[in-house]
Copies of this chain bind each other. A is one copy, B any other.
Amino acid sequence: MRLTDRQLHEYERDGFLFLPEYFSADEVALLRAELPTVFGIDSPALIRETGSGVVRGVHGVHESNPVFAALVRQARMVEPARQLLDDDVYVHQFKINAKLALIGDVWEWHQDFRFWHEEDGMPEPRALTFGLFLDEVDEFNGPLMLVPGSHHGELAEVSRQPGAEGWASTLTSSLKYQVRAETLARTIGDGSIVAPKGPAGSVLLFHSKILHGSAPNMSPRNRTIVLTTYNSVSNALADVPEPRPEFLASRRPVPLVSRTADDLAPV
């Protein structure tokens, strides 16, 4: 349940860790079985693709769905989060990105902390995200792309997209805060982009400041990922004039008690 020194070093250096088949096929099946339910309930927390109107993702269902409630308490996620953040943690944001076959659209390059800092009042980038693959991720279904090491240093400059107002503009294919092309080019430099791929059950754990994005899903296979963001309890959100809905940014920094029993039985 704890990361090794080598993994800690790798995370510090690169800003991410890839953990192949971190969850079993049976666990994945259990989680996937909940998708029709959570994607089927229309609410403001359900985001649709521009144009096609099909599901792009859903937020905050760890509060209502017992299987996802059990997931976010898994010691396999909570304990490494506590270890990396050196503090108790709570779920700041939970979402399931559908990225459906041939439909799921681009996520432009961004840093999560830009949104959480400016929109939600998160003081420091002491948060991280577990991205759990519910489908196999390959080069064609829109894998998450990252710039290794980009969590170091200052936040990348952004252009504020004209007309982007309200929280909905923080969730669409044309993001409210757009990293400038020249900034991205400078950050990547002669370095690389990486896109970890692997079977369903694999986990991509990444820093709240790492530059990341993803291409559209060009394949006939879904690329559904469950993204659980843990924040340090001592890094709870400050007051902001217009807070986003609770399903996008929790204002209840109650330390999570991890489930030592390593199963996904409903909480």
Residues of A at the B interface (CB closer than 8 Å) are: 101-103, 106, 109, 139-140, 142, 145, 181, 184-185, 188, 193, 195, 213-216, 218-220
Contacts of A181 in B (CB 8 A): 101-103, 220
**Distance in Å from the Cβ of A158 to the closest Cβ of chain B?**
14
CA–CA, A139 and B139, complex, Å: 7
> In the complex, A216→B181 CA distance in Å?
14
Asked if A140 and B193 sit within 8 Å, CB to CB, the answer is: yes
- Tell me the number of copies of this protein: 2
Seed contacts A102-B184, A145-B218; 11 additional CB < 8 Å A-B pairs = A101-B181, A102-B109, A106-B216, A106-B218, A109-B218, A139-B139, A139-B195, A184-B220, A185-B220, A188-B219, A193-B218
Q: Which residues of B contact A220 (CB under 8 A)?
A: 181, 184-185, 188
Chain B hits for A214, CB < 8 A = 218
Q: How far is the CA of A145 from the CA of B218 in the complex (A)?
A: 9
Once bound together, how far apart are the Cα atoms of A216 and B219, in whole Å?
Answer: 14
Q: For the complex formed, measure the closest distance between the CB of A92 and the CB atoms of chain B, giving whole angstroms.
A: 26
- Cβ of A196 to closest chain B Cβ, rounded Å: 12
Chain B residue contacts of A184, Cβ below 8 A: 102, 220
Select one of B109, B185, B188, B216 contacting A215, CB under 8 A: B216
- Listed by A's residue number, 5 A-B pairs whose Cβ atoms lie within 8 Å are A140-B193, A181-B220, A214-B218, A215-B215, A215-B216
What CA separation (Å) do A157 and B218 show in the bound complex?
A: 18
Return the contact of A101 from the options B139, B185, B213, B218 (Cβ within 8 A).
B185
Nearest Cβ in chain B — how far from A190, in angstroms? 10
- Give the Cβ gap from A168 to chain B, nearest Cβ, in Å: 19
Residues of B close to A185: CB separation below 8 A: 101-102, 220
Q: Which residue of B lies closest to A220 (CB)?
A: B185
Query: From A100, which residue of chain B is reached at the shortest CB distance?
Result: B181
Are B102's CB and A195's CB within 8 A?
A: no
Q: In whole angstroms, what is the CA distance A109 to B219 when docked?
A: 10
Residues from chain B with a CB closer than 8 A to the CB of A218 are 106, 109, 145, 193, 213-215
10 smallest CB-CB distances across A and B, nearest first, come from: A185-B220, A215-B215, A102-B181, A140-B193, A188-B220, A139-B139, A215-B218, A184-B220, A145-B218, A215-B216
Contacts of A139 in B (CB 8 A): 139, 195
Expressed in whole angstroms, the minimum distance between the Cβ of A104 and any Cβ of chain B is 11
Beta-carbon contact of A140 and B195 below 8 Å: yes
